[in-house]
Amino acid sequence: MCGIFGYIGNKKEAANIVLEGLKTLEYRGYDSWGIAVVNEKFNKAEISIKKKAGKIGNATIKELPQSNIALGHTRWATHGSATDINAHPHFDCSKNIAVIHNGIVENYLDLKSKLGEINHKYISETDTEVIVHLIEDNLKQFPFREAVFKTFKNLLGRNAIIALSANDKSLVVAKNGSPIVLGLGRSENYISSDAAALIPYTKKIIFLEDEQLAEITKDDIEIYSLLTGKQVKPKITILDWKLKEAQKGPYQHFLLKEIMEQDDGIKQAVSQNVDDINTLSRLIKRSFGSYFVGCGTAGHACRAASYIFSIIAKRHINFCVGSEFSYFEDFLTDKSLLIAVSQSGETADILEAVGAARRHKSKIVSLVNVIGSSLSRVSDLVIPLRVGPEKSVLSTKAFTGKLALFYLIAYTLAGKYEEGKKQIMSTGDALSLLLSDNKFIENIKMIADRIYQMQDIYIIGRGISYPIALEAAHKIKEASYIHAEGFAGGEPKHCEISLISEGTPCIVFVPNDETKTAIISNAMELKSRGGMIIGISPTKELVFDEWIEVPDMGITSSIIEVIPVQLLAYYLALRRGNDPDKPRNLAKSVTVK
């Protein structure tokens, strides 16, 4: 969830480097932010901190002194509300140590009780503050690195920290569950909770493993096992993302940029190592029970995949949302296959599901966008999404990339790899034409202007368009804060049709497939109760009050169908005065359970 960034090197503008790093990580949390630097003053080092509630925006840090070492944090609040006091970094009593933290210390009350409040003064409501006081206590007996080591060993839960001491010329970082990436430079090194934030500075990175601690100076990185205390040799990864992929360019928001990149994104998603796709196809054929697992948008892609594999490969694959999967683990055996899907590869619920599969010695395959992420490192086979960094909290190009990849795998399973790849590439070409059509964009803007004040939006689809309806509702809720719900087309007559009144917007997916006749009938049921029918279809139907035309791509039409609602969600957000990249209360990478 939270974003953490650190720098140590020869440059004296460490605070500015960290500030820019935090701005690129703000999608991980924007309740508050803060930066700490070591200030060399009159031959005595001390820590200076600036922290504020709210988004970083155009924040300035002119009051912070020049320094070559700094750390910073952008917060998604868990323990304690979004206030200046609860913002990170947090001091110890002497103000010689500062700590930033991503995660939840599940036993912080027990630790706080053992430390006692007589010898330590707490000023925030956070669980994080107990960490810095534990380090302070351990420094009475141990040097700084070992004090952090001893402290982190006592923390329960998924956590990552960076600790800074005024008297020590290093940053010490430790992690278990929450992500940490180290960037290697020349006489300078970096720490980030996301590899994308390191792209402007270096392509040489180290993904810190769980139960590891690193001591970082400007010239060296030493990594130790938290289990054995012994030094370990890190694996250096070369990041192949391009700087422009992580920048907005001419677009006002990352969300719009990422929507408009999807024509290329789905082509990149299927530009895979054929051997890996064939290997996954064999694993599915050999498995006795295969499972798709995802959360949020990834979960909707997995549900869509269950239809895709049924239609194309004539193969049944189970689907479960990540947070519920462990309750079904009794079905797992050493012949089971778990296909875990995640943009970030750091989603806590997905990693819990993988843990359940591991307990039963099941095979793990991941479809993930961030290579080197926690999910990719615990997988037997990794299929990268290849859609490039996704910076907006709302996932768009990763969703269509997942759909494209699922189509390719299903076609391969059916022995039609080349046919499948050709079909998906054609879909990418059609999407490119659609996104360059000003009439298409203006029509969506007009519909947004018409419905932005509505309190409810209902969305229906049948077959593979049902999970697309779920994802469409997901996007509208995330961006606009309008209540939206997606349904299988035949379901509202059992309950939700009672909610339809005069003028209620109802979005209906009407592809040219076997669902067309039935879904038009369902749309008529909503219209007869006063619903305003917004049709997304290759053909204009009499039941539509508004029509968003999309090309007919046959079996891969689901990739195209979702695009208009992504754009609608974006323009609804703008019309309602929301920040499309940073929806309230949400963060990009959900690393807590």
**Can 439 be counted among the known catalytic residues?**
no
Structure token pair of residue 10: 């020869």
Note whether residue 300 is domain-resident.
yes
DSSP 511-546: -SSTTHHHHHHHHHHHHTTT-EEEEEESS--TT-SE
Indicate if the pLDDT at residue 181 is higher than 90: yes
Q: Which of 50, 267, 391, 588 is catalytic?
A: 588
Q: Give the model's confidence band at 246: pLDDT under 50 very low, under 70 low, under 90 confident, else very high.
A: low
Rounded to the nearest 10 degrees, the angle between the axes of helix 417-435 and helix 397-413 is 160
What pLDDT digit, counting tens, does each position of 108-131 carry?
899 888 887 667 888 899 999 999
Please, is 50 exposed, middle or buried when counting C-beta atoms within 10 Å of its C-beta (0-12, 13-18, 19+)?
A: buried
Region 356-381: mean pLDDT is: 92
Indicate if the pLDDT at residue 15 is higher than 60: yes
Structure token pair of residue 404: 């494209």
| 3-state secondary structure at position 353 | helix
Indicate if the pLDDT at residue 42 is higher than 60: no
If you search the block for the tokens 């005595």, which residue do you land on?
A: 44
Cα dist from 546 to 53, 353, 358, 512, whole Å: 43, 42, 49, 18
Structure token pair of residue 286: 């050999």
What pLDDT digit, counting tens, does each position of 133-162 carry?
999 999 999 999 999 999 999 999 989 999
So what's the pLDDT on residue 245?
66
| Whether residues 122 and 164 fall in one domain | yes
Looking only at the bridges linking them, the beta strands covering 97-103 and 159-165 are: antiparallel
| Whether residues 544 and 560 fall in one domain | yes
So what's the pLDDT on residue 461?
98
C-alpha neighbours within 13 Å on the C-beta side of residue 18: 35
* Cα–chain center distance at 567: 19
Region 473-484: mean pLDDT is: 97
- Pairwise CA distance, residues 296 & 392, whole Å: 15
Range of the domain at 518: 438-581
Count: domains in the chain: 3
Q: Is pLDDT larger for residue 194 or for residue 561? A: 561
- How large is the greatest C-alpha to C-alpha distance in the chain, in angstroms? 81
User: What stretch of H or E contains 90?
Assistant: strand 90-91
| Whether residues 213 and 306 fall in one domain | no
Note whether residue 586 is domain-resident.
no
Residue 192 sits in a domain whose CATH number is 3.60.20.10
CA triplet 161, 164, 166: central angle to 5 degrees? 165
Region 447-461: mean pLDDT is: 97
What pLDDT digit, counting tens, does each position of 21-40 carry?
998 888 788 889 999 999 87
So what's the pLDDT on residue 170?
87
So what's the pLDDT on residue 97?
94
Note whether residue 183 is domain-resident.
yes
CA triplet 494, 500, 502: central angle to 5 degrees? 155
Per the prediction, the chain carries an average pLDDT of: 93
Q: Give the model's confidence band at 592: pLDDT under 50 very low, under 70 low, under 90 confident, else very high.
A: low
Query: CA torsion, points 113, 119, 123, 124, in degrees to nearest 10?
Result: -30
Return all residues near 548 (Cβ < 8 A) that are at least 6 apart: 440, 443, 444, 447, 534, 535, 536, 537, 564
So what's the pLDDT on residue 448?
98
Query: Which of 20-29, 491-500, 582-591 is the least confident region?
Result: 582-591
Q: Identify the top-confidence range among 12-26, 156-170, 370-384, 392-406.
A: 392-406
- pLDDT above 90 covers a percentage of the chain that reads 78
CA triplet 125, 131, 135: central angle to 5 degrees? 140
Length of the chain: 593
C-alpha neighbours within 13 Å on the C-beta side of residue 407: 29
Q: Which of 2, 295, 302, 320 is catalytic?
A: 2
Please, is 58 exposed, middle or buried when counting C-beta atoms within 10 Å of its C-beta (0-12, 13-18, 19+)?
A: exposed
What pLDDT digit, counting tens, does each position of 532-541 carry?
999 999 999 9
| Whether residues 273 and 404 fall in one domain | yes
Note whether residue 329 is domain-resident.
yes
- Pairwise CA distance, residues 195 & 245, whole Å: 13
- Give the number of other Cβ atoms within 10 Å of residue 446's Cβ: 11
* Cα–chain center distance at 143: 36
Residue 406 sits in a domain whose CATH number is 3.40.50.10490
| Whether residues 419 and 276 fall in one domain | yes
Q: Which of 402, 421, 436 is the last residue of a domain?
A: 436
Note whether residue 590 is domain-resident.
no
Q: Give the model's confidence band at 372: pLDDT under 50 very low, under 70 low, under 90 confident, else very high.
A: confident
So what's the pLDDT on residue 146?
96
So what's the pLDDT on residue 117?
63
Which strand ranges, in their side-by-side order, compose the sheet holding 212-216?
90-91, 97-103, 159-165, 171-176, 212-216, 221-225, 231-232
Query: What type of residue is 24?
Result: T
| Whether residues 517 and 470 fall in one domain | yes
**Can 588 be counted among the known catalytic residues?**
yes
Note whether residue 395 is domain-resident.
yes
Note whether residue 588 is domain-resident.
no
Return all residues near 431 (Cβ < 8 A) that are at least 6 apart: 262, 263, 266, 559, 560, 563
Region 240-265: mean pLDDT is: 85
Q: Which of 436, 470, 505 is the last residue of a domain?
A: 436
Q: Give the model's confidence band at 587: pLDDT under 50 very low, under 70 low, under 90 confident, else very high.
A: low
| Whether residues 217 and 146 fall in one domain | yes
Looking only at the bridges linking them, the beta strands covering 546-549 and 337-342 are: unpaired
| 3-state secondary structure at position 8 | strand
Return all residues near 311 (Cβ < 8 A) that are at least 6 apart: 410, 464, 555
Q: Which of 195, 218, 239 is the last residue of a domain?
A: 239
| Whether residues 427 and 453 fall in one domain | no
| Whether residues 209 and 330 fall in one domain | no
- pLDDT above 70 covers a percentage of the chain that reads 97
Which strand ranges, in their side-by-side order, compose the sheet holding 505-509?
483-488, 456-461, 505-509, 532-537, 546-549
| Whether residues 17 and 79 fall in one domain | yes
| 3-state secondary structure at position 381 | strand
Q: Give the model's confidence band at 585: pLDDT under 50 very low, under 70 low, under 90 confident, else very high.
A: confident
| Whether residues 80 and 178 fall in one domain | yes
Structure token pair of residue 216: 């970082």
| pTM as predicted | 0.80
Note whether residue 587 is domain-resident.
no
Region 433-451: mean pLDDT is: 97
So what's the pLDDT on residue 569?
98
| Whether residues 117 and 220 fall in one domain | yes
